Structure 1
Amino acid sequence: MTERTTIGSWFARLPRWLRAVIGLASVALGIAIVFRPTTSLGLLAILIGLGLILSGVLELVGGGDGDDDERTPPWRIVTAVLWIVGGAFVLFFPGLTVRMVALVVAIALIVNGVLSVISAFRRGRTLDARVAAALLGVAGVAFGLLALLWPDITLLVVAVVFGARLIVVGLLELWRAIRGTTRTRERGAPSTLGRWAKTIAAVVALLLAIAAGSVSASLRGGTPVVDDFYAAPRDVPDEPGKLIRAESFTRGVPDNATAWRILYTTTGEDGEPAVASGLVVVPKSGDGDYPVIDWTHGTTGFAQPCAPSLLEEPFESGALFLLPEIIDNGWALVATDYIGLGTEGPHPYLIGASTAYAALDARRAASDLDDARLGDQTVVWGHSQGGGAALWTGALADSYAPDVELAGVAALAPASNLPGLMENLPEVTGGSLFASFVVGAYTAIYPDVTYREYVRPGAEVTVREMADRCLAEPGAAVSVLSLLGLSRDPEIFSEDPTTGPFGDRLTENIPPATISAPLLLGQGAADQLVVPPAQDAFVADYCDAGQQVDYRLYAGRDHVPLVEPDSPLVPDLVEWTTARLAGEPVEPGCTRTER
């Protein structure tokens, strides 16, 4: 016999108790990986590294292919070596990124799968061994491809299926050890159940692969598709606020309203002409001259497909639950998507000036839509990201769009104190997902803010991939779980984002206290995302700067519930808006009301 055959035979003749221990270890390790897929990247890498090595040992022991041959086939020796080398690589380089861990696992699974399929055609194998080898091989290739296609969620998809593989193979080896079945055939042919147990396990593995692929396809299928409507014309007009095109829109629109989606010109962060999209909704009844609610929406994502006008719920996705109230009051809605959502980006997420430009220019462009019959009066409403945008819109209206007759600004749970918001995100469930949007925007727009300086190398791939998913799409749920795991490592940042160039840029994007229109600021007292202490500090700075603020806190209201239809904010907001459109004066200075 050759040396490699002797080595393989030696492993195959290990004592039954030792083989049982190896099988139990495989099962235990597999369970740990399956039930802890969102553990820290460092710990998960150790578990996967140990699992790869144990997979190699199981190949040599005999749990990998189901033959009862006395000799270990050369392909199994090669596979075992690959498993062990891959595991050692993961263990000895603990700083590996998610992408590298995915790559190692993927290569191991694909190579093992291909060799397993090839071995199915080897002479002298029984039918059950052929079927088992082929099915396990196909399942392995499928799992490996999943690792390559979705590297950022390898922690969930690949870790779970790899852990499941360890459990299946470990149980088979444990069964062989308990039944005393060896490859030397010293005790005769194995039972029918023993012969087909591997095949049954292979079928289960293949079904798992199919299920994982189906889940992955459905998650990916939830991403909205950007159509030709959002394409900029070859020559974009230099003048901002000009309507480029409009078409009828019906999704999510009340029966008593008519709507259009629009494409219009605006100004980018660099001061150059840009294109943005949005929605216009007006009552079906009435003679026109409708006052306008200029809505700046809450977070929907950072990527181009995340425009509210593209989403299944175009209004509620951005936290506008009050469209029926707007229409019933005889008002019209103009709702920008912002630059980079729908149109080409990057989207200036939590970046003030260009977001305000998009809101003001949407209002201007909507006036060019003759069928909308809009009036001159405008009140800005915004929530969360849009609340900060509403403050910026009010702050820049006089200088950028003096032709817009701004009667008031209502900022609801606004992202105003940006350093305070970033400090709080690690305490928020799924906060890292919002952080990925901020990092994506600030690194894309500001050259002095980089992933290299602020994001952990092991988290960079995940952060980049997460920033490409919309908040409302199915894949975002997986994103949150992945980022929850990474945040225990302990977080996605290697440096505090409120310091250095990143911190300077965040401070630059705090809305200035230059709002000449009446200002209402609503805040939930139980808000877990935009926390009241940070908002209190922002309002105090506004008051010190001489800005008029009507500051109202609502007991028991969290971030989104603050603007839901049953919130006590709603009648207050409608009453306050009605008063602004009627030209009623507001109290000067700062007032604070707890409701």
Structure 2
Amino acid sequence: MSEMGDDRSGRTRRVVGIVLAMVSIAAGSVLILAHLALPEIVRLAGAGLVVVGLATVLGVDGAGHSRWWARILTGVATAAAGIVVLVWQSASIRSLLWVMVTALIVHGVHTIVAAIRSETDRRVAGVFSGAAAVLLGVLCLVWPVLAIELIAFGVGAWLVFVGLRGLLDPLLHRRRERAAARAGSGRLRRWGRTILAVTVFLLVAALAVGSALLLRGDDRPAPDDFYTSTEPLPAEPGVLLRAETLGVGVPAGADAWRILYTSTAPDETVVAVSGTVIAPADRGTDALPLLSVAHGTTGIVPRCAPSLSPTPFSDGAGAALTEMVTEHGWAGVISDYVGLGTPGMHPYLVGQVEARNVLDASRAAQQLDGVTLSSDTVVWGHSQGGHGALWTGQIAQDYAPELTLLGIAGMAPATDLYTLAELSKDEVGGKTVSAYIAQSWNEVYPELDLAGHLNPGTAHGVERIGDLCFNEKDAIAALVRGTQIPEQVFPDAVLDGDLGATLKENSPTGPWPAPVLIAQGLADPLVKPAMQQDWVDARCADGEPLDYRTYPGRDHNGLVAADSPLTPQLVSWTLDRWNRAAPTPTC
């Protein structure tokens, strides 16, 4: 009777094992082959974990030999993780990833332990496959959005593998026993599992090394003592505090300096701001025509200042700036903006502050020994700098009436900030810029409490991006981290509320006291051409005579590249402004 009971129990266990294996194969196949929405992917992966957990408890998952208590604990933990994923509907993707990754790591450890108690080929394969599972779990946390794809394909393949193993392992085990009786036969077949496991481990290890290199960014130095001002500061903005010769990244035929000067912070206090000045090496005593350049996005922390870069004059239309200086005898001044170079958080895309910093840099540059500058100036800017250039023109007559603006050029300018945020909120570039806004504006506009209103699961990515610059190697790391923010940074309710209103307040609308050139690449994925066209149409309707030029095939940086058709046009347009030629508006 006892033998009959054991036989009946064994048959029941095998039937249950077959059913669980088939369910695991079905769930994995659907994950791989079906086009599912993200919530469906997560739920199906959770159900798969429950199935694998039950199979592990019953010892029908084909993982090998392990102690009964280790098998039961692993199975229960795996099934529990699946249940949590299924029922915790309010959790963020990152939280659910933590649950699934924990199950992956636990099951990997169980595979190692079970393999140690098995034959030699299974033992080596188990160690490597278990280690690969643990390392893959860590990578899932580093790359949460990629991990979503891994859930659909990697977890799906794992479920199919576990199911097939549960179906076939008894048969393969009997074949291994028969093969073992024949000395020297089937050696390559017996060790095939090990070769596969080592290959998988090496691939995962390569992913880990590549991830470390991508996310490391660059090693640019922190600002030195030059950027630290001596208190008390002069009471008025635009005062040159110090200057030193700049020898790195200066074009042939030019001289350059770093400067520290006073300007106005968001709270109206006077603060120190850094910047650079460039002038032709061969210059006389006559006043040089002046370009006031507003630079594009470089980051929001002090080490991201353009004056700290090994290529301080390459931002935006760098080729055109070099030509203006070395061939046409102009000088250029570039503000780093407050919080870049000097201590504190940079008020990113805060129009009034950008403009004050640009105007005060032009004031301070006129106090530089060895260079005589005109008070007439043309303002340039690309991207964030285009936003700053337009704001510079908008407030120049009230803030710095001693300067005369002859022209304002905005290249792919960030104009309608609200629409830009709305259009790009789900894109990598939009998430990266939103991360900068979230970090910066949380300090500039504390009443918005942006840190408390981020979408769940985005805070970690926002914080890491905020510490990275947006040029050189850091730009790659920032964008890569942007890809791993699983959803838009700000909920729609926040974007449509006070944040949206503040974005609109920081969007330039004119009027402008001088001719305005707007240049836009029609292949720009960051500053959308449709948004720019709507903004231009609105300004034209308000009576602002803009010169709007579009460039087919040019993306955000390609618009201002040396080979762009804009480069010679920008130089010619700027010389025309100095010569007081009549503008050519397109409105």
CA distance in 1, matches of 2:166, 2:102: 28
Counterparts of residues 434-583 of structure 1 (less than 5 Å): 434-451=433-450, 455-472=454-471, 473-482=475-484, 486=487, 492-495=489-492, 499-511=496-508, 513-524=510-521, 529-531=526-528, 534-535=531-532, 538-539=535-536, 542=539, 549-554=545-550, 556=552, 558=554, 560=556, 561-582=558-579
Instruction: Check whether the contact 1:258–1:283 (CA below 8 A) recurs between aligned residues.
Output: yes
Instruction: Check whether the contact 1:302–1:441 (CA below 8 A) recurs between aligned residues.
Output: yes
Counterparts of residues 29-178 of structure 1 (less than 5 Å): 31=32, 41-57=38-54, 59-60=56-57, 66-67=63-64, 69=65, 73-114=68-109, 116=111, 124-148=117-141, 150=142, 153-157=143-147, 160=150, 163-164=153-154, 167=157, 170-171=160-161, 174=164, 177-178=167-168
> How far is the alpha carbon of 1:503 from its aligned partner?
2.4
User: Does the C-alpha gap of structure 1 residues 218 and 525 become closer, same or farther in structure 2, counting only changes over 3 Å?
Assistant: closer
User: Does the C-alpha gap of structure 1 residues 113 and 228 become closer, same or farther in structure 2, counting only changes over 3 Å?
Assistant: farther
Of 215, 219, 225, which aligns to 2:220? 225
> How far is the alpha carbon of 1:80 from its aligned partner?
1.8
Counterparts of residues 335-350 of structure 1 (less than 5 Å): 335-350=334-349
Instruction: Check whether the contact 1:117–1:133 (CA below 8 A) recurs between aligned residues.
Output: yes
CA distance in 2, matches of 1:155, 1:63: 32
| Deviation digits for residues 386-444 of structure 1 (CA, Å, limit 9, x no counterpart) | 11111111222233333444333222332223333334335877434333333443333
> How far is the alpha carbon of 1:82 from its aligned partner?
1.4
CA distance in 2, matches of 1:45, 1:310: 45
User: Does the C-alpha gap of structure 1 residues 537 and 299 become closer, same or farther in structure 2, counting only changes over 3 Å?
Assistant: same
> How far is the alpha carbon of 1:592 from its aligned partner?
3.3
Q: Which amino acid aligns with 1:155?
A: V
User: Does the C-alpha gap of structure 1 residues 519 and 319 become closer, same or farther in structure 2, counting only changes over 3 Å?
Assistant: closer
Provide the secondary structure at the position in 1 that maps to 2:138: helix
CA distance in 1, matches of 2:176, 2:362: 86
> How far is the alpha carbon of 1:355 from its aligned partner?
1.1
Q: Which amino acid aligns with 1:297?
A: H
Q: 2:360 maps to which residue?
A: 361
CA distance in 2, matches of 1:10, 1:475: 55
CA distance in 2, matches of 1:236, 1:132: 69
Q: Which moved more, 1:155-164 or 1:211-220?
A: 155-164
Instruction: Check whether the contact 1:300–1:471 (CA below 8 A) recurs between aligned residues.
Output: yes
> How far is the alpha carbon of 1:534 from its aligned partner?
4.5
| Deviation digits for residues 502-528 of structure 1 (CA, Å, limit 9, x no counterpart) | 222122212253533443334456766
Q: 2:29 maps to which residue?
A: 28
Provide the secondary structure at the position in 2 that maps to 1:393: helix
Instruction: Check whether the contact 2:376–2:404 (CA below 8 A) recurs between aligned residues.
Output: yes
> How far is the alpha carbon of 1:479 from its aligned partner?
3.9
Q: 1:324 maps to which residue?
A: 322
User: Does the C-alpha gap of structure 1 residues 14 and 261 become closer, same or farther in structure 2, counting only changes over 3 Å?
Assistant: farther
> How far is the alpha carbon of 1:342 from its aligned partner?
4.1
User: Does the C-alpha gap of structure 1 residues 371 and 158 become closer, same or farther in structure 2, counting only changes over 3 Å?
Assistant: farther
| Deviation digits for residues 51-107 of structure 1 (CA, Å, limit 9, x no counterpart) | 53354356447687742x4x7532222122212211221221123223312322343
Q: 1:418 maps to which residue?
A: 417
Determine whether 1:13 maps to 2:14. yes
Instruction: Check whether the contact 1:62–1:173 (CA below 8 A) recurs between aligned residues.
Output: no
| Deviation digits for residues 191-235 of structure 1 (CA, Å, limit 9, x no counterpart) | 645653443343233213311211211112224534232753464
Q: Tell which has more relative contact order, 1 or 2 (C-alpha 8 A, sep 6+).
A: 1
Instruction: Check whether the contact 1:283–1:330 (CA below 8 A) recurs between aligned residues.
Output: yes
Q: 2:408 maps to which residue?
A: 409
Provide the secondary structure at the position in 1 that maps to 2:380: strand
Provide the secondary structure at the position in 2 that maps to 1:553: strand
CA distance in 2, matches of 1:196, 1:498: 57
CA distance in 1, matches of 2:49, 2:218: 34
User: Does the C-alpha gap of structure 1 residues 162 and 117 become closer, same or farther in structure 2, counting only changes over 3 Å?
Assistant: farther
Q: 1:370 maps to which residue?
A: 369
Determine whether 1:294 maps to 2:292. yes
Instruction: Check whether the contact 1:453–1:495 (CA below 8 A) recurs between aligned residues.
Output: no
Provide the secondary structure at the position in 1 that maps to 2:357: helix
Q: Which amino acid aligns with 1:349?
A: Y
CA distance in 1, matches of 2:80, 2:146: 23
CA distance in 1, matches of 2:427, 2:137: 33
Task: Please list every run of 5 or more consecutive structure 2 residues that lacks an aligned counterpart in the other structure.
Answer: 181-185
Q: 1:266 maps to which residue?
A: 263
CA distance in 2, matches of 1:104, 1:493: 24
Q: Which amino acid aligns with 2:78?
A: W
Determine whether 1:181 maps to 2:171. yes
CA distance in 2, matches of 1:379, 1:156: 46
User: Does the C-alpha gap of structure 1 residues 482 and 568 become closer, same or farther in structure 2, counting only changes over 3 Å?
Assistant: same
Instruction: Check whether the contact 1:224–1:306 (CA below 8 A) recurs between aligned residues.
Output: no
Q: Which moved more, 1:404-413 or 1:183-192?
A: 183-192
Q: Which moved more, 1:368-377 or 1:270-279?
A: 368-377
CA distance in 2, matches of 1:14, 1:263: 79
User: Does the C-alpha gap of structure 1 residues 263 and 418 become closer, same or farther in structure 2, counting only changes over 3 Å?
Assistant: same
Provide the secondary structure at the position in 1 that maps to 2:446: coil
CA distance in 2, matches of 1:20, 1:106: 22
> How far is the alpha carbon of 1:353 from its aligned partner?
0.9
User: Does the C-alpha gap of structure 1 residues 448 and 244 become closer, same or farther in structure 2, counting only changes over 3 Å?
Assistant: same
CA distance in 1, matches of 2:267, 2:24: 62
CA distance in 2, matches of 1:276, 1:21: 67
Provide the secondary structure at the position in 2 that maps to 1:554: strand
User: Does the C-alpha gap of structure 1 residues 495 and 172 become closer, same or farther in structure 2, counting only changes over 3 Å?
Assistant: closer
Instruction: Check whether the contact 2:215–2:481 (CA below 8 A) recurs between aligned residues.
Output: no
Q: Which moved more, 1:427-436 or 1:289-298?
A: 427-436
> How far is the alpha carbon of 1:357 from its aligned partner?
1.8
> How far is the alpha carbon of 1:461 from its aligned partner?
4.4
CA distance in 2, matches of 1:61, 1:26: 19
The number of equivalent residue pairs is 569
Task: Please list every run of 5 or more consecutive structure 1 residues that lacks an aligned counterpart in the other structure.
Answer: none
| Deviation digits for residues 510-559 of structure 1 (CA, Å, limit 9, x no counterpart) | 22535334433344567665456644554566567665x34233353655
Q: Which amino acid aligns with 1:80?
A: G
User: Does the C-alpha gap of structure 1 residues 116 and 580 become closer, same or farther in structure 2, counting only changes over 3 Å?
Assistant: same
Instruction: Check whether the contact 2:52–2:162 (CA below 8 A) recurs between aligned residues.
Output: no
Of 197, 200, 203, which aligns to 1:205? 200
